[in-house]
Amino acid sequence: MRTLTKLPLVIGIGALLSLLAGCETTDMQMGSAAAKTTATGSAAGAATDNASTQLERCASPMGTVSLIENQQAGWYTILRNEYRLPPTSNLLRLLIQQSNCFVVVERGAAGMNAMSRERQLAASGEMRQGSNFGTGQMVASDYGMSPEIVFSNSNAGGAGAALGGLVGGRYSGVASALGGSVQTKEAAAMLTLIDNRSGVQVAASEGSASKTDFGAFGAAFGSSAAGGIGGYTNTAQGKVIAAAFMDAYNQMVRSLRQYRAQTVQGQGLGGGGRLSVDGAAAPSQTSAPGAAKKTNTKK
Rounded CA-CA distance 179/168 in Å is: 13
Q: Centre a 10 Å sphere on the Cβ of residue 20 and count the other Cβ atoms it contains.
A: 13
Q: What is the mean pLDDT of the chain?
A: 74
Q: Are 272 and 288 in contact (CB under 8 A)?
A: no
Which of 187, 2, 4 has the alpha carbon at shortest distance from 85?
Answer: 187
pLDDT tens for each residue of 220-248: 333 333 322 122 123 357 788 888 999 99
Question: Comparing C-alpha atoms, which of 155, 189, 185 is closest to residue 75?
Answer: 189
pLDDT beyond 60 at 29: no
Three-class secondary structure of residue 59 per DSSP: coil
pLDDT surpasses 90 at 85: no
Query: pLDDT by residue (tens digit) across 139-194?
Result: 999 999 999 998 767 665 554 444 344 444 554 444 444 444 566 778 899 999 99
Q: Which residue has the higher pLDDT, 263 or 28?
A: 263
Nearest CA to 89 out of 243, 245, 239 is that of 245
- CB 141 within 8 Å of CB 105: yes
Q: Domain coordinates of the chain in residue numbers? A: 3-129+142-259
- Report the relative pairing of strands 64-67 and 143-153 from DSSP bridges: parallel
pTM of the model as a whole: 0.68
3-state secondary structure of 148: strand
